[in-house]
Structure 1
């Protein structure tokens, strides 16, 4: 029960990797606010952990929506201890055919959304003099993938934003770290592995020879939010099966 008594906000927490992280946090004793535009699979969590799960409709790219989310978490559960800024989107397309609206949506969700969530959570945590913030990047932040310019650029920016936030917020008792998953069998990764030709071309780059499980990424998120990582700050934790 490494997160017993902790209150965590997880954006994008109603499906895919976010849902796996929420499940792991609940298993470790946390109370969890799952924020997303749609409830998706939240009913399963509410049934398994009655009274410890709150769903909050949220658009992370909207300032007021994010402010309302953090205020609701603090009011409902009486505190805000952990943020996992997981909400993200990908609009694939090579640069010459990538539309401006698609670029802007990716930046708004992945980068601006991370900024807004970190800022508003930090305001609550600063009042208590303690907190944990976990941003979510991707292995594509530092590796070239054709057609992923918008996604890769925003994730690279998230990593530098995390380092800066760690330097600013560390003195206030708030640890800020980044979780960088590789190929995972949930969300965008599931679509990636669905194409045998594409997956076969990338599988050889993994020293473990397989796609990661969502639970393995969730375990890393628990570590960054839990007591074992008290002296970890400004770190990008890659969980990618030895991706070359």
Structure 2
């Protein structure tokens, strides 16, 4: 974990900040001195963060699937608070259907948030960052983007799209001083993870995640623990800091070795 106030003077935009990894990213960046615009589908979801940091965190409602809304929030942020130095794409949804049973709407909705949302936000902020000659964008993807999962085709494919998009964007804006990286978590203790567990058998469900499941071709977690949201947030904080100034187009797996880095 980093220490000090190395992000003092920086302004960050974080999507999906109403809970889980997004909320942890806000805490990590604000804890390092950054001012943060915390966004989620409703302002109520991020109001507590704004209250907790008394002026250093601003809450805004944002639907990342709406490109006009994204452009409006980014423009408002820069006009009101100043130029954005950091953007972190965390907003995401999980689809858990087998391909043969998946309706068109589920596939489209998953891509609308996990891939199109990343495109909308990154396009808007990178354009401005490139004009200024500096900036850092981090997309929180998933280790499912790099290894097949049963009943997770839409989620895995949308996250893979987000990873490659972020790398391509990083190549386009590297000469402008803008860095673009991804953090790919494995199983993390969030509401999304708990939503996949069997009700009334949470302890057994958690143990199964750590141990793996050969029947569903799922490897376990060699480090023997499920990640906390702060584990992912610390990786994000590193990548947006000057300590990572020579890192771009990188996909950092934070999964306890679960994918055996396949």
Q: Smaller-chain TM-score range?
A: over 0.9
1:202 corresponding residue in structure 2:
209
In the TM superposition, residue 190 of structure 1 has moved relative to its aligned partner by 2.8
- Is 1:181 matched up with 2:185? yes
Whether the 8 Å CA contact 1:17–1:187 is kept in 2: the answer is no
In the TM superposition, residue 41 of structure 1 has moved relative to its aligned partner by 4.4
Which stretches of structure 1, 4 residues or more, deviate above 6 A after TM superposition? none
- Is 1:135 matched up with 2:139? yes
Take 1:24 and 1:35, find their aligned partners in 2: how far apart are those partners?
15
Deviation readout 1:109-146 (Å, 9 max, x if unpaired): 11011011110001111221100000111011112221
TM-score by length of 2: 0.89
- In structure 1, the residue corresponding to 2:169 is in which secondary structure? helix
Aligned alpha-carbon RMSD (Å): 1.4
Higher mean displacement: 97-106 or 195-204: 195-204
Whether the 8 Å CA contact 2:17–2:91 is kept in 1: the answer is yes
1:92 corresponding residue in structure 2:
96
- Is 1:223 matched up with 2:247? no
- Is 1:166 matched up with 2:163? no
Whether the 8 Å CA contact 2:145–2:159 is kept in 1: the answer is yes
1:102 corresponding residue in structure 2:
106
1:1-244 alignment, distance < 5 Å:
1-193=5-197, 195-196=202-203, 198-204=205-211, 205-244=220-259
In the TM superposition, residue 241 of structure 1 has moved relative to its aligned partner by 0.9
Take 2:233 and 2:122, find their aligned partners in 1: how far apart are those partners?
19
Take 1:172 and 1:187, find their aligned partners in 2: how far apart are those partners?
38
Whether the 8 Å CA contact 1:179–1:220 is kept in 2: the answer is yes
Take 2:209 and 2:147, find their aligned partners in 1: how far apart are those partners?
12
State the number of aligned residues.
Answer: 244
Unaligned runs of 5+ in 1: none
In the TM superposition, residue 160 of structure 1 has moved relative to its aligned partner by 1.0
2:215 corresponding residue in structure 1:
none
Take 2:45 and 2:154, find their aligned partners in 1: how far apart are those partners?
28
- In structure 2, the residue corresponding to 1:180 is in which secondary structure? strand
Take 1:121 and 1:41, find their aligned partners in 2: how far apart are those partners?
23
- In structure 1, the residue corresponding to 2:37 is in which secondary structure? strand
TM-score by length of 1: 0.95
In the TM superposition, residue 77 of structure 1 has moved relative to its aligned partner by 1.3
In the TM superposition, residue 43 of structure 1 has moved relative to its aligned partner by 3.1
2:216 corresponding residue in structure 1:
none
Take 1:159 and 1:215, find their aligned partners in 2: how far apart are those partners?
21
Take 1:192 and 1:232, find their aligned partners in 2: how far apart are those partners?
34
